[in-house]
Amino acid sequence: HGDTFYEVVRHLPAGSRAVAVDLPGGPWGSDSRATLESCVADLCAKGYDASCVFSDSQNVAFEAFDCVLIDADHRYEAVRADWLRHRQKITAFHDIDGEGIKLRDMEIGVPKLWRELKPQYRHVEFIAPSDARRMGIGVLFLEAA
């Protein structure tokens, strides 16, 4: 729905460029076009260069960004493909914590990929210990650990 995108972008300096990629009706989402477009419009009104693309992330090509937040199809194969295709100097992942979590009969594979990647890179984790869902955000810095 754009809430994580909105919260991340609003903490960047005004004028920052931000692009959200969403696949409404995809395996993990709903039809979020209206809410995401509303988030983008609000960010633009606040002075950000924000936009959204409605497509599968594997069909989108970008020029370099300073940072990318991967918060899309949470299956292991899909999040790994997003990492390999879209990683940047700073790459963040949503839902890094947990074991065997299933949603709509699909396993969330982000924690598995996170465990594989984090020993190789400098990283930081943001996990609220009081949150029973313990989803968390992990950030990797591409300099070798």
95-110 residue pLDDT tens: 898 765 666 667 778 9
The mean per-residue pLDDT over the stretch 18-47 comes to 85
pLDDT at 134: 64
Q: How far from chain centre, in Å, is Cα 54?
A: 15
Query: How do residues 59-115 score in pLDDT, each as one tens digit?
Result: 888 888 888 988 877 889 989 999 999 999 899 998 898 765 666 667 778 999 999
Query: How do residues 15-30 score in pLDDT, each as one tens digit?
Result: 999 998 887 776 666 6
The answer to whether residue 143 scores a pLDDT higher than 90 is no
> In terms of Cα–Cα distance, which of 121, 101, 103 is closest to 111?
101
Q: How far is CA 95 from CA 24, 84, 122, in A?
A: 19, 18, 18
The mean per-residue pLDDT over the stretch 112-120 comes to 95
Buried b (16+ CB within 10 A) or exposed e, 88-115: eeebbbbbbbbeebeeeeeebbbbbbbe
pLDDT at 114: 95
Tell me how far apart the alpha carbons of residues 82 and 43 are, in angstroms, rounded to a whole number.
25
The answer to whether residue 6 scores a pLDDT higher than 80 is yes
pLDDT at 100: 54
The answer to whether residue 129 scores a pLDDT higher than 90 is no
Name the more confident of 54 and 26. 54
Sign of CA dihedral 15, 21, 25, 26: negative
